[in-house]
């Protein structure tokens, strides 16, 4: 089922990829009500690398979940490539995630008993890609992240940095419009963190992949070209590098 224009038809820089207008997210009712987002406006364009920061409970993770179609706003409007996401059913939102989004998590979320190559083929199986094509795409993605020599290794045979590289390869193997990275360096030491951030920077710069990253580390946020700070459910600042 096609929701938007095919993934291969990229937008020009400057055109909105993600647009949130007046978005709120409220959990609970009455005295138990929590206003995770209190009405935010946020526009992310094709080709940007955006870091989202803020203290615990500031709304940054809620915003990430909404952009990733893992949650829905209480009010307001979310458009992805011009499509009103609020009009989609749960199944249609799942299709949007599968075909247009890639995810990178702090905990890697790799299948432990399958090889690196098989981990990368799984999202392509869900998309109905033929065996030969998905095998070639998985090998190409491994090459992009510098892990061609680890294709037969299981996650337990890889270091933390290698597992996160593999997770990034899985996120890009479907050629998504947008990669959402949630604390991608949270489980890594400083040297491996730098390697991962340099990889994400190259993917953004050389391949034009739009990246939105949640992080609490200023050193990691500095790799992004734009930093959005959340506080108490609103955007406190939104600064782009010159």
Q: Is the pLDDT of residue 1 over 50?
A: no
Which residues make Cβ contacts (< 8 Å) with residue 128, sequence separation at least 6?
none
Structural element, H or E, at residue 77: strand 75-80
What is the tens place of the pLDDT at every residue in 80-136? 999 999 999 999 999 999 999 999 999 999 999 999 999 999 999 988 899 999 999
Q: Which fold has domain 16-240?
A: Rossmann fold (3.40.50)
Averaged pLDDT score across all residues of the chain: 92
Give the Cα separation of 241 and 96 in Å (integer): 30
Token pair belonging to 48:
């940007």
Question: pTM for this structure?
Answer: 0.91
Least Cα distance to 71 among 27, 30, 106 occurs for 27
Least Cα distance to 100 among 216, 227, 8, 233 occurs for 8
Q: Is the pLDDT of residue 11 over 70?
A: no
Which residues make Cβ contacts (< 8 Å) with residue 82, sequence separation at least 6?
4, 16
Residue 22 vs residue 5, higher pLDDT: 22
pLDDT of residue 113: 93
Q: Is the pLDDT of residue 6 over 60?
A: no
Average pLDDT over residues 30-50: 95
HSE toward the beta carbon, residue 115, CA cutoff 13 A: 14
Indicate the domain borders of the chain.
16-240
Average pLDDT over residues 175-203: 96
């Amino acid at each position: 089922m096609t929701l938007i224009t095919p993934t291969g038809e990229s937008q020009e820089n400057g055109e909105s990829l993600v647009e949130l207008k007046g978005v709120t997210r409220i959990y609970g009712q009455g005295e138990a009500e929590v206003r995770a987002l209190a009405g935010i406006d946020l526009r992310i364009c094709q080709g940007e690398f955006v870091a989202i920061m803020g203290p615990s409970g500031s709304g940054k993770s809620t915003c990430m979940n909404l952009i990733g179609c893992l949650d829905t706003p209480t009010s307001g409007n979310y458009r992805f490539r011009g499509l009103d996401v609020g009009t989609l059913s749960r199944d249609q939102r799942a299709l949007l995630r599968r075909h247009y989004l890639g995810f990178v998590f702090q905990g890697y979320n790799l299948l432990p008993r399958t090889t690196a190559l098989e981990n990368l083929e799984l999202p392509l199986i869900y998309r109905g890609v033929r065996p030969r094509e998905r095998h070639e795409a998985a090998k190409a993605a491994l090459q992009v992240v510098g892990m061609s020599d680890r294709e037969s290794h299981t996650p337990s045979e890889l270091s933390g940095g290698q597992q996160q590289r593999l997770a990034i390869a899985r996120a890009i193997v479907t050629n998504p419009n947008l990669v959402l990275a949630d604390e991608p360096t949270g489980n890594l030491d400083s040297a491996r963190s730098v390697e991962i951030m340099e990889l994400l920077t190259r993917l953004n710069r050389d391949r034009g992949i739009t990246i939105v990253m949640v992080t609490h580390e200023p050193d990691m946020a500095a790799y992004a070209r734009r930093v959005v700070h959340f506080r108490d459910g609103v955007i406190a600042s939104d600064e782009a590098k010159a």
